[in-house]
Amino acid sequence: MDNQPFTFDIALPGGIPSTYSNHITRRLSSMRGQYADEQTYVALLAGGDALLYEVYEEQVPENAGELLHGISIVHPGKVGDEYFMTKGHFHAEIATAEVYYCLAGQGVMVMETPEGVWAVEELRAGKVLYVPPRWAHRSVNTGSEADLVTFFVYPAHAGHDYGSIEKQGFRKLIVEQGGRPAIVDNLRWLPPEQR
């Protein structure tokens, strides 16, 4: 049985540091095939390559024993009904965990194991989320106007496996229904034995 993700609250300190050594930006064009409403995705992209999220990281040697850490900012917006989100990944060294601390905004972390066990946890300012080893993770901004800002820290040798998620996405999607976020099935997703 896999460990389950868990969360708890810590009172929020002030300010977001801005001295990180590496800045990564991800645009709509890098999310091809990830949004359920392909037609709307193509139409939006034709109108411009929107900036969906950014990561500020402090570069450290990618060795076991070091900790990579930084700030992830997912901007608000939707592709059809589906909120802006990160690509999401397993760690290449799959037995490595990650801690997220939400600094600002509203959102969720969508997670799943290679066997297809899934979990969705709320992210809001002050919330700590523990992503256990073996759980893929994707942050989703469910706010209508504000950025979703999280601090993250994980073993520096973990690496990223994006390919497994790119093939069919996560088992669950986060969409707006009646003005609120809802968890729905991803119809493209197949259990491991049917892939």
Q: 147 is in the binding site of which of Zn ion, ligand F6R, none (Cβ under 5 to 8 A by kind)?
A: none
Number of amino acids touching ligand F6R (CB under 6 A) = 13
**Interaction of residue 112 with Zn ion, rule CB under 5 A:** no
> 124 CB contacts (<8 Å, ≥6 apart)?
102, 105, 106, 107
Name which of 41 and 154 has its Cβ closer to ligand F6R: 154
End-to-end CA gap in the chain: 22
CB of 81 to Zn ion, least distance (A): 26
Name which of 98 and 112 has its Cβ closer to Zn ion: 98
Q: 88 is in the binding site of which of Zn ion, ligand F6R, none (Cβ under 5 to 8 A by kind)?
A: ligand F6R
Name which of 39 and 63 has its Cβ closer to ligand F6R: 63
Of 75, 125, 83, which Cα lies nearest the Cα of 100? 125
Binders of ligand F6R among 65-124, rule CB under 6 A?
Answer: 72, 86-89, 98
**Interaction of residue 98 with Zn ion, rule CB under 5 A:** yes
Of 161, 177, 166, 171, which Cα lies nearest the Cα of 194? 171
Name which of 41 and 98 has its Cβ closer to Zn ion: 98
Name which of 82 and 98 has its Cβ closer to Zn ion: 98
CB of 30 to ligand F6R, least distance (A): 8
- The alpha carbon of 30 is separated from its chain's Cα centroid by a whole number of angstroms, namely 14
Q: 139 is in the binding site of which of Zn ion, ligand F6R, none (Cβ under 5 to 8 A by kind)?
A: ligand F6R
**Interaction of residue 143 with ligand F6R, rule CB under 6 A:** no
Q: Tell me how many degrees the CA angle 144-147-149 measures, rounded to the nearest 5.
A: 140
Quick check: 174 and 82 in contact, CB under 8 A?
Answer: yes
Q: Which residues sit at the interface with ligand F6R, rule CB under 6 A?
A: 26, 55, 72, 86-89, 98, 137, 139, 152, 154, 160
Q: Which residues sit at the interface with Zn ion, rule CB under 5 A?
A: 98
